[in-house]
Structure 1
Amino acid sequence: MKKILSSFIRKRNDKYYVYVEYIDEVGKKKQKSQGSFINKKDADKKLIEVKNSINNDIYALPSNISFTNRCYRYYDSKLGISENTIACAKSIVKKHVEPYWGNMKLSDITVNKYQTFVNYVFQKDLAYRSKRKIMQLCNAVLNEAYRLQEINKRITDFIIFPKNNKTHEEEIYSIEEIKQILNALESESIYFQNTIKLLIYGGLRRGEVLGLTWDCVDFENKTIKIQYNLQYIEGKYIMKQPKSESSIRSITLPDHVFDMLKKEKLRQNKLKLQGLMKEKEYDTVCINSNNNYYNPYNLDITFKRFIKRIGLEFKKLHALRHSHVSMLVASGVDVKTISERVGHSDISITLKIYAHAFKENDKIAVDKIDNILSQ
């Protein structure tokens, strides 16, 4: 248990040093410098400040924990956060925080050092959103450390974060590219083919399509219910509920997609009768060549190779979802219907993400009005 013994000024050479003397976790007496000053008056002022913080129980004794380990510990102690979020956060720490900070103590981080780190992150060749994620994680750790009196200063209050000067538009595949993808799929494995077609025609998220189960397929009404999200975390498949209530939804799919699903259902039933397909906890529609859950990361890799093989510029798998929405907008479907179909909690999210598509549609509407009035 740490304990503060005293605070005082010591003169060395031509400078005045303010110190705090304390007992550390192992019972050893230690001193921590609070700064050096040329003028005795400034040192006295600092000492009064330190004594006040000690008396008001807001002074933070130095800790031996490194900033990197404090980042890991932050997510180990968090409740109500999904395993996928924790895994992603720890991956960010491993890739971007640990290589920079190494074993530097949390208590040794200053405003200047942290600002240098911020500038370093924003100079990296990463998407702006990725840079913001790194900083959001680190800021949360520092803010909690300040709240728990592990550090003396709320460092993030003094930091300037570079703004994003680029306007962001979601990547999409054009209608011609989607047609090329659909044609090329006919030569691919049934596992990959079915999955990509569901993504294109359903506008689903990756985890949603891989988490689609047969009991959520309504062949009579030609709808599917989205209520699961398949994730692969630390070597285990985890079926989660979608991230928001609005993500649980039923959507209609074209007749030919249901014809595809009927064939796949019959194929899987036959495999089960032959003993070639083991029973899984969740009877998923999309499976891999081993008749098991389709690994999300393997799907990403297969899709990337497929896109390059057919000669298209690669855009992430999620671009199929953006393309789906863009086609709906171009077809004149209202924003409320689109928002509900893709599982957004509010139409403002749809408008914000796909602003460019709605803007283009607005131009088309103006041209139509102009043509009518010009006749």
Structure 2
Amino acid sequence: TWADIDTINNVIHVTRSWDHQYGTGFKPTKTEASIRDIEVSSAVIKLLERIHQEQMAAYLRTGYRDADQMIMRNQWHTVITDTACNKALAILQSDAGIPKEKQITFHGLRHSHVSYLISQGIDIYYISKRLGHSDITITMRVYGHLLDSQKKKEAFKATAAMDRL
């Protein structure tokens, strides 16, 4: 919801999930570890603020009131499903000239996000918490192979540190 976006501190608060399967509304997250704060860039916050302004203007024109203050609703004011998000993403990728066999889903973007963070030397413990994993071993099991490329850098840093003793 819009209330979960902290525009002052550039944070998205993840505190609950939406029940797409049974349509019962909000539900608890999958695990307690899924409740987390995700730091985002100021560019993401600016984009969200623009979307919020456009959404409020559209609602004002149509007289729609959203008691839940949902970020993502479609033209019929229902919550957008995972399938609809992936279809929209596929259209954007096609429009960008990305061949169908190279296109990615939102879940794939999650993996790409982690791969990028690892390639930039971001701490795996931080990544694990950012993903909402209850245990770092989950993150290591899924993404550990990507850390092999960091091993040489870390070995160099470790031996250099020992040499400074």
Q: TM-score range by the shorter chain?
A: 0.7 to 0.9
The answer to whether 1:216 aligns with 2:17 is no
Q: 1:336–1:273: structure 2 CA closer, same or farther, 3 Å change rule?
A: same
Name the counterpart of 1:43.
Answer: none
Determine if contact 1:326/1:357 at 8 Å carries over to the other structure: yes
Which shifted more, 320-329 or 286-295? 286-295
The answer to whether 1:226 aligns with 2:14 is yes
- Render the CA deviation track for 1:128-158: whole Å, top value 9, x for unaligned: xxxxxxxxxxxxxxxxxxxxxxxxxxxxxxx
| TM-score, structure 2 as length reference | 0.81
The answer to whether 1:272 aligns with 2:50 is no
Which amino acid is the alignment partner of residue 83 of structure 2? Y
Where do 1:62-211 residues align within 5 Å? none
Secondary structure at the residue paired with 2:70? Answer: coil
Which shifted more, 256-265 or 244-253? 256-265
Determine if contact 1:226/1:247 at 8 Å carries over to the other structure: yes
State the alpha-carbon separation in 2 of the partners of residues 364 and 288 from structure 1. 47
Where do 1:285-324 residues align within 5 Å? 285-309=71-95, 310-312=97-99, 313-324=102-113
State the alpha-carbon separation in 2 of the partners of residues 289 and 367 from structure 1. 55
Determine if contact 1:231/1:296 at 8 Å carries over to the other structure: no
Q: 1:363–1:287: structure 2 CA closer, same or farther, 3 Å change rule?
A: farther
| TM-score, structure 1 as length reference | 0.38
Q: 1:267–1:316: structure 2 CA closer, same or farther, 3 Å change rule?
A: closer
Secondary structure at the residue paired with 2:90? Answer: helix
Name the counterpart of 1:23.
Answer: none
Where do 1:229-244 residues align within 5 Å? 229-233=17-21, 236=23, 238-244=25-31
Q: Residue 45 of structure 2 is aligned with which of 258, 281, 302?
A: 258
Determine if contact 1:214/1:284 at 8 Å carries over to the other structure: yes
The answer to whether 1:332 aligns with 2:87 is no
Name the counterpart of 1:140.
Answer: none
Unpaired runs of 5+ residues, structure 2, are 161-165
State the alpha-carbon separation in 1 of the partners of residues 19 and 91 from structure 2. 22
Q: 1:344–1:225: structure 2 CA closer, same or farther, 3 Å change rule?
A: same
Secondary structure at the residue paired with 1:292? Answer: coil
State the alpha-carbon separation in 2 of the partners of residues 360 and 287 from structure 1. 41
State the alpha-carbon separation in 1 of the partners of residues 90 and 53 from structure 2. 29
- Render the CA deviation track for 1:222-253: whole Å, top value 9, x for unaligned: 1110112223225x363221100010001111
Identity, in percent, stands at: 27
User: In the comparison of the two structures, how many residue pairs are matched?
Assistant: 158
State the alpha-carbon separation in 1 of the partners of residues 9 and 89 from structure 2. 30
Q: Residue 36 of structure 2 is aligned with which of 249, 271, 277?
A: 249
Determine if contact 1:247/1:344 at 8 Å carries over to the other structure: yes
Aligned-residue CA RMSD (Å): 2.5
Q: 1:262–1:361: structure 2 CA closer, same or farther, 3 Å change rule?
A: same
Unpaired runs of 5+ residues, structure 1, are 1-212
